[in-house]
Structure 1
């Protein structure tokens, strides 16, 4: 997670290379996190009879309070082999909203989810259009001014993090205010020549996912807010199919319902901060707000636990892909599916593939992961998500996932 000054696309940060479950990562929490080798407080709690997952989030909130004077709030969703799932909460005793008013922490408390929005964008696209086919020119050519290389950019390469565009989750990749509106965006893209060949290498592109959302949603006749409203309606239609009615595009009126957010440096966001996670045009890359109840429903859906989940073609398509390309900037690169990252974990039962995605915007982080199950004939037996008003979600999420796997 970055501070607002450093963030690209009006607020989007996170998105990392992969989770610390299995490989060395970038951004949020590196694979080399020593906590992954050392027993966690939650693990030691197993012998004392304390719920290890509750112990994990209680300990992280206590650490934030003691070391950072931060009122950290955590929502942890855990789904085990019984498939039922449960929600756990920590840090709600004296939680406040950004204006200093007391705020309840429960299943309906909203959090910004950052780049997990990308997985929702992938889901919404499949629901409306099926597999990722065609190019940006096919989908946007009549409504957008794009350079020839961008017109030929295939949606499948956008959705698997191989767009030929530069990595942009650390800022500085594009001119300021590129995403402020369609005029400035397409003024830039009409002459833009991507630095890499599409499909040739891995690069984390928030701009790419923003364009992917535009392709699936449509932009004809819309301004920036009009596009985001249309995306929100498409998202709402999708989320209604699994009972997640509180998930949607951030609007300014939501600020008072959010917890006070803390930056990567554990600084509370200023009282007058807008709390807007992204520009409207980047809603599909990181502009979604959700709740613990909705995220638990989405986790169970992706684990194949919803009605018809074992034969759901959308889940088979989104999760079944295993795509790899070397990193454009050098170093290690992840295997990906559509929106998801794939991490290999050595567990007592053998090697387990964990599909996962994290997210981060100013003041909030998130993480979701579950054991791969496509082709097994049964749903996933382990899944976790974390919502957090500070920089701790990936750390907590990966530790909780390891705890579920017995690592």
Structure 2
């Protein structure tokens, strides 16, 4: 998730456009209209800055049949993080805080992890190299359609008090919603207030962003676009609560254009010095072409640098960016969880490729099952592809799982990034390869079950049915996250919360491994030999779940 003194005059607003103004490249206008026509985006709002000219373009329709406007409200997701960075930078320019100041100094009632005597600093939270993971290991949503709603302050404190950093703070970039959320919370505490009140007082009000908020009122809610997942299904809004500084802001095209122009220095604002401080590149970011300042990314290219960030929630996606010469900028908001980054970069870079339109199609579970398996992208990187109910899902080694959506038989795309996957068949018609299309084409052969097990150090052994029955039961991983273990036709099955059941395979008595994901489960026994807990081993973390009584 993601980043918000003088009120600015109302910006010119265009309705749905069939012919592009000079501010928006014709190819971007055409692509946006085509994607809306194909149903990829229900509604789309694009705000463009081109020198002294600015314009807002709207496409598509809302659920009431009306066209979106520059005042339609969207979740902006992780662009929220740039607002959090601005708050930090403003406190630094006011000499209230330092970038090398330990976050623990703002949160004396927390136990913040450190490594080799190096504490996590405020600047490292902003530069996303604190050593904290993307999400805490005790993050177990009760409802995946509102994943942050039930994560509490007590859970955050418990995680931080027991987490061991895998590397020194400042050593390597790792995108972290947790780190941005912790930074936002700490800044609110430092101000003797809350993040919500601080961002309202320091950014929204001075910039005249009166339709931007973390908690929306009835007037804003009446203009809120209905969110959709990548398949076009309507979804509810996220309640990010403790993670508000990482992704909790809602806003409009008009307000985000105000924010964009303030960051570009095109409108007078006392925040501009802080905004420049946040934008200044400091260390390596994601990929060789990106460097990161305080949350803001700077992408280097032959035609100049672009300063940018993006965002996505369960039902919305967003992009904000501008050229380093501060002459061209764009903000994009849509009400579906489908990436809009290529539209943003193509607005700012003439040679940036536009992804082909993705029209989601439905494939039978029988067809989806043909794609399941483990594919080798490199000696150290495997890609698991599996079906969860009617959804194909992929997970690379050490990374989170993400859904894949079919645009045709053998052709899939991911809404979370500019990823496309093509499946290939052998002479007998069986799927034997996938090609990952992301920054080039990467061929990954499909491994046999034995090959995949061997690469992960797994070897299946037989367990008698009576012993399998000992593991059946319910195990509490978190207050709202329960493992349900059953035996079905001689196969041990494990289900976590609202997720589907997946088979696990024995490598020894009480030791099992998944094949759909890179994870293992060990069962523990009490002094009488009865199974009384399980331990999930995944992504370097060990999570224990005691067995519940009948």
Question: How many residues end up aligned between the 2 structures?
Answer: 325
Q: Is the counterpart of residue 162 in structure 1 residue 129 in structure 2?
A: yes
1:77-136 deviation line (CA, Å, top 9, x unaligned)? 111122x42211111xx421xxxx455521211111011100001112233453534112
Q: Which residue of structure 2 aligns with residue 394 of structure 1?
A: 341
Distance 1:106 1:186 in 2: 42
Mapping for residues 204-353 of structure 1, pairs under 5 Å: 204-218=175-189, 230-237=194-201, 238-251=203-216, 257-263=223-229, 265-270=230-235, 273=236, 275-276=237-238, 278-307=239-268, 312-324=272-284, 332=288, 334-347=290-303, 352-353=304-305
1:35-84 deviation line (CA, Å, top 9, x unaligned)? xxxxxxx9xx88xx987547634543433433xx45621111111122x4
Distance 2:23 2:292 in 1: 33
Q: Is the counterpart of residue 113 in structure 1 residue 73 in structure 2?
A: no
After TM superposition, the score normalised by the length of structure 2 is: 0.53
1:348-370 deviation line (CA, Å, top 9, x unaligned)? xxxx1111000000111110111
| Displacement after TM superposition at 1:219 (Å) | 7.6
SS in 2 for 1:313: helix
Q: Which residue of structure 1 aligns with residue 503 of structure 2?
A: none
1:199-228 deviation line (CA, Å, top 9, x unaligned)? 11110010000011111111899xxxxx7x
Distance 1:186 1:220 in 2: 20
Distance change in 2, residues 1:233/1:57 (3 Å): farther
1:343-396 deviation line (CA, Å, top 9, x unaligned)? 12223xxxx1111000000111110111124xxxxxx11111111112142122
Distance 1:240 1:176 in 2: 36
Distance 2:272 2:346 in 1: 29
Distance 2:353 2:231 in 1: 31
Mapping for residues 65-144 of structure 1, pairs under 5 Å: 65-66=37-38, 69=39, 72-82=42-52, 84-91=53-60, 94-96=61-63, 101-102=64-65, 105-130=68-93, 131-141=98-108, 143-144=109-110
SS in 2 for 1:315: helix
Mapping for residues 125-204 of structure 1, pairs under 5 Å: 125-130=88-93, 131-141=98-108, 143-149=109-115, 152-168=119-135, 173-177=137-141, 180-204=151-175
Query: Is contact 2:134–2:178 with CA below 8 Å preserved after alignment?
Result: no
Distance change in 2, residues 1:148/1:319 (3 Å): closer
- Higher Cα Rg: structure 1 or 2? 2
1:248-268 deviation line (CA, Å, top 9, x unaligned)? 1044866553222222x3332
CA RMSD, Structure 1 to Structure 2 (Å): 3.4
**Counterpart among 55, 60, 68 of residue 32 in structure 2:** 60
After TM superposition, the score normalised by the length of structure 1 is: 0.70
Structure 2 unaligned residues grouped into runs of 5+:
4-16, 142-147, 355-550
SS in 2 for 1:140: coil
Q: Which residue of structure 1 aligns with residue 327 of structure 2?
A: 381
SS in 1 for 2:251: strand
Structure 1 unaligned residues grouped into runs of 5+:
1-11, 16-41, 222-226, 374-379
SS in 1 for 2:234: coil
| Displacement after TM superposition at 1:147 (Å) | 3.9
Which has more helix, going by share of residues?
A: 1
| Displacement after TM superposition at 1:183 (Å) | 1.1
| Displacement after TM superposition at 1:184 (Å) | 1.5
Q: Which residue of structure 1 aligns with residue 450 of structure 2?
A: none
SS in 2 for 1:383: strand
Distance change in 2, residues 1:250/1:403 (3 Å): farther
Q: Which residue of structure 2 aligns with residue 370 of structure 1?
A: 322
Distance change in 2, residues 1:366/1:239 (3 Å): same
| Displacement after TM superposition at 1:158 (Å) | 1.1
Which has more strand, going by share of residues?
A: 2
Query: Is contact 1:76–1:387 with CA below 8 Å preserved after alignment?
Result: yes
SS in 2 for 1:249: coil
Distance 1:343 1:72 in 2: 29
Distance 1:317 1:52 in 2: 28
